Amino acid sequence: RACSMCQPCNLPKTPTKSCKSRGSNLRVHFKHTRETAQAVKGMHIRKATKYLKGVTLRKPCAKQWGWPQGGWPRKSAEFLLHMLKNAESNTELKGLGVDSLVIEHIQVNKAPKIRHRTYRAHGRINPYMSSPCHTEMILTEKEQIVPKPEEKDIPEETEETKTYLWPGNKSHMWLDHLLLLPIQTHPVRLNFCLAC
């Protein structure tokens, strides 16, 4: 019987431009894998591969909490590298461009714990549990950003074409309804001249 956590929790927005990779009951710590997965979420596939290879070589920390202390979960990084390689081959099978792939969704769930035993003093036995995990990731082709079209040239206003109306300005002829307006603190720009 399949575990309820094995079911996919997120479907791709555009199935034709995305590919999936899943692993069930992976014998790797859930907590370490979850932290490593959140570190690569949203990355480009090449950048994520380079990052995870660096984690296995103990260069960048995959688990860091805002201070210099961190960790290098090597086994989790290796499992995620295998999943990225699997997703990349799925992409080639679908005919998508590998160079434009981004990790859109990555999720790590707890799998059923595996029970072992450890022997203690006086004939006692204690549980020795392992915490495997289910992992899934969805890679999507990044959409090409279309450049913004150039704006049309707008002719600049000259002194003849622009007119400012300010209460108390006697150089222009005022209309009766404008005189009834409350005193304004900023000039109002009109596109026609009232003096004409």
Give me the residue label for tokens 């575990």: 3
Structure tokens at 26: 């992976």
| Per-residue model confidence (pLDDT) at position 187 | 60
Residue 179 confidence class, pLDDT cut points 50, 70, 90? very low
* Mean of per-residue pLDDT scores for the chain: 81
Q: What is the mean pLDDT of residues 175-190?
A: 52
Q: How many CB atoms lie within 10 A of CB 155?
A: 6
Burial class (CB in 10 A: 0-12, 13-18, 19+), 185: exposed
SS3 track for 38-55:
HHHCCCEHHHHHHHHHHH
Is the pLDDT at 100 greater than 90? The verdict is no
For residue 11, the model assigns a pLDDT of: 77
Q: 180: buried, middle or exposed (CB in 10 Å: 19+, 13-18, 0-12)?
A: exposed
What is the per-residue DSSP string for 88-124?
Answer: HHHHHHHT--GGGEEEEEEEEEEPPPEEEEEE-GGG-
pLDDT digits (tens, 9 = 90+) for 31-48: 999 999 999 999 999 999
Q: Which amino acid is at 76?
A: S
